[in-house]
Structure 1
């Protein structure tokens, strides 16, 4: 039976380990949602925020441990090389002065806090402290979603620019071939052939620049996703979906309470209020229940020290009253109230900042939306113009310069359209981020 169990473990353990290590791998064409989900699990800033939550939880438990009994053990051994203790003073029955040279005390002391201002503060702040660090984690997750989304759109934009440049190069190569054929046939001079060559060379330079830009933007996307630099990313482009998701309600009303930064400041204010209460009630005494049990050993001979024991024990209450602290409590109270006023000013300031961010984000979105609508029309018109001019050139009606102009207009219109589309998508992210409605999950 033991051999069978070992065989089963040996067969299943590697499978389990492999499944755990490959749970977060990236395969196939990745959607934006997949990139965001991966980043939320692997981005170092998100992991650090989760660790900060755990650290805060340990701090809370450290503070609350003051409500639990505190038990300490003590032990001493003393040898008097001159004179000796009084037997009675040493709690030895009889109260007779003896020549005792060796004394040992073994004891256990226990303390139970009944009321203490420090421990009471720890219990009151625990809920708000947990809430603050949860909000901090949420803030990091929102930042990751925003940054990953924008970086994702930047990579897609570069890829679309490369695709448009490749299509332009194909058209230029075809035009160069036509110009060369017409030149060799004696229909045109070298001008058309040279102009086609210049346009093709310029397009080749643009393709190289765009290819390198894609590498740079992919590297940044990997960084904020927490992906290994050697991992290959393949992003999915869904034109219909992005067009459908580009529009938002521009008549929405800003609600600052939805912003996590505002919520976090409210939590900070609650913590500061508790800090004011802590110093305000700092004059209250600390009350604890105490108890101890001791074993006292005394003998004139060191070798016989632990032959006789004299036990004692007690229970009682310990009260500590702060009578005068050199105005420390008053100064701390005034400082805490000033810090509370400062948080109030932070709240006012963050409201203004959030409003400005929202107005700017909405203004950018509206302008990008107008640009997207108009560039879409321009792209369709440029495509029609190029088709007609190209056909007329082949029939000898138009000169090659007209083809170059039409082709340049088409490429510019296509680039402007996709640039406007992805700028619109990025500005939508900014609007949702500013309004506090950006979905994390």
Structure 2
């Protein structure tokens, strides 16, 4: 095989591979896009919430409900369009009806008949179709508001779960730092015991403290796995994919502030908007029941092809057509008071919404007062624990230095280290509790909207 032939063959193979790759690209790109879209590269709080709003099953179900509502509305509104119908009939009479006319028996009809009918009806006034056209906008709005309410609940729950994962991760971080510090203390205590400077109780206390810290670390590591899975379930995140939380502690500390002088306005809540839409729909229902005293009016018409013959083979040879147009008005005169009672029932249901609004207002005021009280107490706790953490760090550094100088006992070092660990864990827990409390306040104020 010549070199020139080999080069041509190699070039053809390269061209074939390029063509196959070009054909496969449209199939590969959607799969790669879907894979990259299914996971978060940066799991910040905002990204986590936005991901949940896009993929959470409850929200997707609400969006499906919106589409179902839209198709239902269109189905109801279709009653205003002309309705065209077709009917076909074939009838064979085994015995044709006979009537006596002028003393003679005569057959009324033939053995075979067939009819084709094209019919047209047009609603002129129909209370069902009228209700659909009058309330279509409010029905669509109600479906969208239900979706918005679901998004708000999901965002709040996801944010709280996010902070819960953060709190546990911070506890793990604290445990790692404690273990590093205790391992160094154990090394120092062992060296002092070996040198005869201290007795064996110091390094045994250090061993006990180190074992406790390692056990606590294992507990937090297992706990954070469960909390991450719970967060992923709230987000609609793939269970097989990892999620790494990204956060900025300084930014979170700056976000704890909140204007506590605001007053609760229940009109800003999604529940109030839902109630207002329900009121409009109920008012439409009252009108609908009142329309029951009005007649239904529709126009109709038909064109009929009629075929008759005693012989089936000649049935469709001759057509005897007829056509008509009609205006129909139908109205029930007496129904035992049913229409009156239906109107009264609809009016009572409308009045019930007034009391629901009063109940909502009281509930919002109560929720806001409770959320604000929790936030203020959490803020006070956070500030106190932040100061405690700084003091505990200072105390530990001083006592540890004094212990190394032979002034303090190792028991005092252990106690100071325990106080520092507790202060740090309490501080981070207080921070995330405070941020969760702020979310409850914002929700009570109606300032979380999607």
In structure 1, the partner of 2:73 is 60
3-state SS, counterpart of residue 287 of structure 1: strand
Shift of 1:236: 0.6
Q: Find the counterpart in structure 2 of residue 402 from structure 1.
A: 412
The one of 50, 59, 70 equivalent to 1:37 is 50
Residue 384 of structure 2 corresponds to residue 374 of structure 1: yes
The offset of 1:419, in angstroms, is 0.6
Query: What secondary structure does 2:313 align onto?
Result: coil
Instruction: Identify if the C-alpha distance between structure 1 residues 269 and 27 changes in structure 2 by more than 3 Å, giving closer, same or farther.
Output: closer
Alpha-carbon distance, 1:7 to partner? 7.1
Q: Report how many residues are paired.
A: 428
Summarize the alignment of residues 25-424 of structure 1 with structure 2, pairs less than 5 Å apart. 25-84=38-97, 100-424=110-434
Asked whether the equivalents of residues 96 and 107 of structure 2 are also in contact (C-alpha less than 8 Å), the reply is no
* Contact kept? 1:84, 1:101, Cα under 8 Å: no
CA contact (8 A) 2:372 2:441 kept: yes
Partners of 1:246 and 1:428 within 8 A in 2: yes
Q: Give the SS at the match of 1:281.
A: helix
Query: TM-score, normalized by length of structure 1?
Result: 0.93
Q: Distance in 1 between matches of 2:31 and 2:388?
A: 53
Distance 1:98 1:60 in 2: 49
Structure 2 stretches lacking a partner, 5+ long: 1-15, 100-105
C-alpha change, 1:29 and 1:78, in structure 2 (3 Å) is closer
1:10 aligns with 2:20: no
Tell me: CA distance 1:9–1:171, structure 2 relative to 1, closer, same or farther (3 Å): closer
Runs of 4+ aligned residues of structure 1 deviating over 4 Å after TM superposition are: 6-9, 96-99
Contact 1:84 1:100 in 2 (8 A): no
SS in 2 for 1:186: coil
What is the alpha-carbon distance in structure 1 between the residues aligned to residue 41 and residue 29 of structure 2?
23
Counterpart contact for 1:79–1:102, Cα < 8 Å: yes
Deviation of 1:226 after TM superposition, in Å, equals 0.4
Mapped to 1, the partners of 2:282 and 2:247 lie a distance apart of: 49
- Going from structure 1 to structure 2, the CA distance change for 1:99 and 1:317 (only over 3 Å counts) comes to closer
Matched with 1:89 is none
Pick closer, same or farther for the CA change 1:220–1:121 going to 2, 3 Å. Answer: same
Structure 1 contact 24–38 (Cα < 8 Å) conserved:
no
1:109–1:292 contact (8 Å) kept in structure 2: yes
Specify the alignment match of 1:93 in structure 2: none
- Could you say if the C-alpha distance between residues 155 and 417 of structure 1 is closer, same or farther in structure 2, counting changes exceeding 3 Å? same
Q: Give 1:260 shift.
A: 0.3
Pair 50,298 (structure 1): closer, same or farther in 2 beyond 3 Å: same
Task: Give me the whole-angstrom Cα distance separating, in 1, the residues matched to 2:331 and 2:404.
Answer: 103
Q: Distance in 1 between matches of 2:387 and 2:393?
A: 10
Deviations 1:237-296 (A, max 9, x none): 201110111111111111111100111011111111110111112110111111100000
SS at match of 2:325: strand
Q: Is the 8 A contact 2:266 2:364 kept in 1?
A: yes
Name the CA distance, whole Å, in 2 between partners of 1:185 and 1:23: 59
Q: Tell me which moved more, 99-108 or 286-295.
A: 99-108
- Aligned equivalent of 2:12: none
Q: Separation in 2 of the partners of 1:343 and 1:58?
A: 28
Does structure 1 conserve the Cα–Cα contact (< 8 Å) formed by 2:84 and 2:120?
Answer: yes
Structure 1 unpaired stretches of 5+: 87-95
CA distance in 2, matches of 1:409, 1:324: 84
- Give me the whole-angstrom Cα distance separating, in 1, the residues matched to 2:275 and 2:324: 50
Deviation larger for 325-334 or 258-267: 325-334
Per the alignment, do residues 41 and 411 of structure 1 end up closer, same or farther by CA in structure 2, a change over 3 Å counting? same
1:338-359 per-position Cα deviation (integer Å, ceiling 9, x unaligned) = 2112222222212211111111
The two structures have a TM-score, normalised by structure 2, of 0.92
* Deviation of 1:335 (Å): 1.4
